[in-house]
Amino acid sequence: MSWSIDADVDCQMREQHDAFGNFVQTLDAEGPLQKLTVIARGEVETFDTAGLLRSEKECFAPDVYLRDTDLTEADPALRKFAREAIKGAKTELDRPHFLMRAVNEAIAFEPAKKEPDSAIDVFKAKTGASCELAHVFIAAARSIGVPARFVSGYLASESDGADSAADASDLRGWAEAYVEGLGWIGFDPSICLCMHDGHVRLAAALDWLGAAPLRVSPLLGVTRRTEARAVMLQGQAQRQA
């Protein structure tokens, strides 16, 4: 219902949409900077759609999301894992559901402590944050011909009330898979559930690098500048399932 972004330094802000349709706000600040704090404030009204993504404008055909990236590439072990995970699947909808459960059982969840590793490395380590489990799910899904993409956002806990606040520790990553006849459906392997009314969707892309809620990069030239790139919700924010 409302959304704003502020920074604690003087800066210029530019707004645009990226190739995936995400609304991007770019902050340019001259430095050197010792610290940069970016605060996003918003009020959201959420609802449950039984996992389905609704009323979202799509920029690409689903097949674009079969494309691998460095973070979502599958090696032979991961491809074998995906094939075995979907044994017994009777419908197209069964396949991503089976994959979600298999990823949840194979990889132990731990809170994010750093930028995410690739699906191959996480699958070998058997432990990862929510965004890393999402990368494994995406890599496995694409390897069996299911279009899949990464989604960043927030996840409200069951104890959160209607007026609860979320901070950076609540940032999460999950995946969306395309099922013919139904469309895009959200799958969160870290909790082994489809998207529900606790998920606040921010951005979607091929992997975490394209949908990170906040990325900061120094630009060195005649003057030293720091650019903070924040991907935020466009229009009315919603927790969607």
**pLDDT value of position 102:** 97
pLDDT along the chain (241 residues), means of 10: 86 89 87 82 85 87 96 97 95 96 96 89 96 97 97 76 51 94 95 92 94 79 42 38 34
**pLDDT value of position 105:** 97
Q: Which residues of 130-159 are buried (b: 16+ CB within 10 A; e: fewer)?
A: bbbbbbbbbbbbbbbebbbbbbbbbbbeee
For residue 159, what are its two tokens? Answer: 């104890």
The reply to whether 237 falls in a domain is: no
The reply to whether 200 falls in a domain is: yes
Q: Which residues of 202-225 are buried (b: 16+ CB within 10 A; e: fewer)?
A: bbbbbbbebbbbbeeeeeeeeeeb
**pLDDT value of position 219:** 67
**pLDDT value of position 170:** 67
The number of distinct structural domains making up the chain is 1
Residue range of the domain that includes 189:
2-158+168-232
**pLDDT value of position 6:** 86
The reply to whether 239 falls in a domain is: no
Report the CATH number at residue 9: 3.10.620.30
**pLDDT value of position 220:** 58
